[in-house]
Amino acid sequence: MSLNRLQKIISDSGLSSRRKADLLIKQGRVTLNGRQAIVGEKADPYSDHILVDGKDLPKKLSHKVFLLNKPYGFISSCQDNHGRKTILSLIPSHLRLGLHPVGRLDYESRGAILLTNNGDLTLRLTHPKYSHTKTYLVWVKGQPSLSILDNWRRGIFLDGKITMPARIEILDKGNQKTLLKVILKEGRNRQIRRTANLLGHPVLDLQRISISNININGLVEGDWRELQANEWNSFIN
């Protein structure tokens, strides 16, 4: 008998991320051997009967990871109640089964985002304790002083908690604007935009160019490619 947490079993089936699987259990939408499942309990995916919304889990899918160069004006979600365009719509329909975004880029931002059916990979790339870097090119309004950039590097308070140290480099200066290279090891909600606003230099344009060692070189906006296993296996091994 091989026992695993229910949220891992659901995630491994490709139905959802672990976080979403946890929510499905909390919402009472998962049953285990005919009774409502409980968050944190374990099951055997081969001998126990697990249903989500009354349906059997999909047969285990082979793990897939796609790198997408997200354009402006798409949300980082599989669906949207307000009818906005989603990044999933940029992937051919026959490849979408079980895919979910790894983290997010906000509606106004562009650049690298991963989609996968691998819950373990999603956890490793989004949980702060693993500290994978993400690199951004950011045009901000005005010309921030060295002291302001040092404050950003050291960390500032967002939501009552100081941000992790960041690497900031000035790449270019234009007419009342500055291009920064920003490297983060965490990804709080709209972190760069909120930090820049607090420091008095709002973001004019934001593009993520890499996630750890995976970059969007040669990938035009709106295009995607499937990653080879050797490009992402190191994140979970």
pLDDT surpassing 80 at residue 46: no
Residue 137 identity (one-letter amino acid) = L
Tell me which of 197 and 82 has the higher pLDDT: 197
Say if CB 149 and CB 181 are below 8 A apart. no
Integer Cα distance of 122 and 236 in angstroms: 9
pLDDT of residue 117: 86
**pLDDT of amino acid 61:** 63
- Confidence check: pLDDT of 1 > 60: no
What is the model's pLDDT at position 2?
62
Q: Which residues contact 157 (CB under 8 A, 6 or more apart)?
A: 163
Radius of gyration of the chain (CA): 20
pLDDT in tens, 217-236: 999 999 999 999 888 888 87
Report, as residue numbers or ranges, the catalytic residues.
106
pLDDT, residue 60, reads: 64
- In order of their start, the domains of the chain are 4-56 (3.10.290.10), 129-211 (3.30.70.1560)
Residue among 198, 189, 167 nearest 180 (CA):
167
The pLDDT of residue 59 is: 66
Report pLDDT digits (tens) over 67-119.
999 999 999 988 888 888 999 999 998 888 888 899 889 999 999 999 998 88
| Cβ–Cβ < 8 Å for 225, 219 | yes
Say which amino acid occupies 50: I
Q: Give the model's pLDDT for residue 225.
A: 95
Question: Closest by alpha carbon to 50, among 104, 111, 8?
Answer: 8
Q: How confident is the model at residue 28 (pLDDT cuts 50, 70, 90)?
A: very high
pTM for the model stands at 0.76
Structure confidence by residue, pLDDT tens digits, 130-187: 778 999 999 999 999 999 999 999 999 998 999 999 999 999 998 899 999 999 998 8
Question: Residue 217 carries which side chain, given as an amino acid letter?
Answer: N
Q: State yes or no: pLDDT of 16 exceeds 60.
A: yes
